[in-house]
Structures are given as C-alpha cells and as structure tokens.
Amino acid sequence: MKKLIIVLLLFGFIGTGHSQILLKETKLEYRPESMKLDPVSNTLTIKISEKSYGEFNKDPLAFVKNQFDIQRVLKDNEKEDYDSYQVSFKSTKGHLLANFDGDGDLISSFQKFKNVRLPEDARMQILQQYRDAVITGNKHVAISKGWDVQKEFYKVKLRDGDKTRTVKVNKDRGAITYVGL
C-alpha cells in the first residue's frame, strides 16, 4: 500500500510537470489615449493631472508650450481635415482654452482660474485702500494672441463687515478699478 501511494504521488508530480504548456513571451505596448477631437464640439479636452497641477497654474501658456505636443493632435486628426483646432486644458482650479491653426501655431487663448495667489503689489494696493476688508475669493483671467498675453486681470471679492464688493485689478497697468459694490 505504501508503494502504491508513493507511485501515485510520483505520477502526480510528473504529470503536473508535463502538463504545463510553455507560451511564447507576450509583449504589450502602451498606447496613450487618442488625441482625436470630439466630432460634436470639434474640441479636445485634456485633464491636467494633480502631479502637474502646480506647474500648470503657475504659467499655463508655458506649460502648454513645453508639455503639449500639438503635432500629435495634427497627426491623429489629419483625415478629418480641420482648419483649426480648439484644445481645452482643465484642472481643479480653472481652465485654459487654446485655439491652434492648421499648422499647429497658437492663434489665441483664454484662461480663467479661481482662488489663485495674488501678486504681491496687487495685494498691497488692495490692503492699503481697504484696510479692514477681507479677501474672500478671486478670479484670474488672461487673454492672449499667440504666446503673448494681451489682457490680464484679477477680480477680487472683498468683504468688509456686512458689505461685499468686487474689485478689478489690471495686472499690466497695476491700477485698481471698481467693478461693483
């Protein structure tokens, strides 16, 4: 009986070893998501990951210039024969909408971000003029032609007691103008 159990175990091990099928090595290629435009809206929306988030908020146009490959978009959409391309970059704090021509050159862009850090001189100007006010929020808006920013301003919401007012700060001029009370 002892010999029978040993022989059965031996056949089990040998059978298991011979039943293994050797497969050739499989190689997988990673293909990132397509850069095809949405056929309905004719735009491409790219969500900015949290690891690139700080760099994107600091200078969105420089981030797009250094990190985004418009030539890949042109290549992926060459069959559709578009004259221009609209690419939207979105993060949790705001977005950048960039318009490119058929050659891949930036025509214009619009960017809007909320609750960003105000420049030091703008903060000081607001605090000098509104000593008791508290900044409750802000929006940063910039419009560009090509890679050069043409118009850039901040809308700052201030609360002074029970009064709320919005102040517009033009970054290029450094002037504070009232938008509303």
For the chain, domain boundaries: 39-113, 115-141+152-181
Average pLDDT over residues 98-127: 88
pLDDT bin (cut points 50, 70, 90) of residue 163 is confident
pLDDT of residue 28: 44
pTM of the predicted model as reported, rounded to 2 decimal places:
0.71
Nearest one of 99, 108, 165, 104 to 134, comparing CA atoms: 165
Pairing label, strands 134-145, 163-170:
unpaired
Average pLDDT over residues 83-90: 87
pLDDT bin (cut points 50, 70, 90) of residue 168 is confident
pLDDT of residue 31: 45
Mean pLDDT, the chain, integer: 80
**Could you give the CA distance from residue 19 to residue 17 in angstroms, rounded to a whole number?**
6
Average pLDDT over residues 168-177: 68
pLDDT of residue 68: 84
Average pLDDT over residues 16-32: 57
